[in-house]
Amino acid sequence: MLLQHDPFRDLDRLTQQVFGTAARPTGMQLDAWREGDEFVVELDLPGIDQDKLDIDVERNVLTIRAERLSRMPDAANAVATERSWGVFSRQLVLGDALDTENVDAEYTAGVLRLRIPIAERAKPRKISIARRDEADYRENEKSISS
C-alpha cells in the first residue's frame, strides 16, 4: 500500500489546500521585476492548457484566470490526491506608471510571462532650458510693467 488511512492527515491536507501555508500558498505563485522599460511578471501554471487561460485588464487591475481539469477518471479509486485542480485566479493592481494597453503575454512550459511596458508619461525625461540674453529680458520686463 502507498498510504495508510489517517483522517487527521486528510483534514490537515484539506485545510492546507483551501487556506494554504506559508511555504505553499494557494493560488498562483509569481515573481515580478523591472527590466529596462518593462515590468515583467512570471506565474507558475503547470498543467494548464493554454485555451483554459484567460487574462484581462480593467482599469488598472490585471486578472489572470486558469482552469486545471482533473485527469483522474470518475470511477477511479484514488490512492493519493495532492494536486489541486479547478479554477484559479489572481488579480494584480497595476500602477498608473504602466501601459495597460500594450501588455504582452507568453505561455511556455507551464510559465506565464507578462511584459507590461512603462508608460511614456512615467519615464524620466530632460527638460531643455531656453537661453535669453539680458537685453531681451529687460525689454520684456519694460513691456510688462507698462
pLDDT tens, 47-100? 899 999 999 999 889 999 999 888 888 888 888 877 778 888 899 999 888 999
Please, how many CA atoms are within 13 Å of residue 28, restricted to the half-sphere of its CB? 29
Q: Does 16 map to a domain?
A: no
User: Is the confidence at residue 2, as pLDDT, over 80?
Assistant: no
Question: Would 17 be classed as within a structural domain?
Answer: no
What pLDDT is stored for residue 127 in this prediction?
A: 85
Tell me if 47 is assigned to some domain. Answer: yes
Domain region containing 57:
29-145
* Count of structural domains within the chain: 1
Per-residue pLDDT tens digits for 44-55: 998 899 999 999
- The string of pLDDT tens digits covering residues 101-143 is 999 999 999 999 999 998 877 777 788 888 877 766 667 666 6
CATH for 41: 2.60.40.790
pTM of model > 0.95: no
Beta carbons within 10 angstroms of residue 116's beta carbon? 25
d(CA 141, CA 146): 9
Question: Hey, what long-range contacts does 128-133 have (CB within 8 A, 24 or more apart)?
Answer: none
Q: Has residue 18 been placed in a domain?
A: no
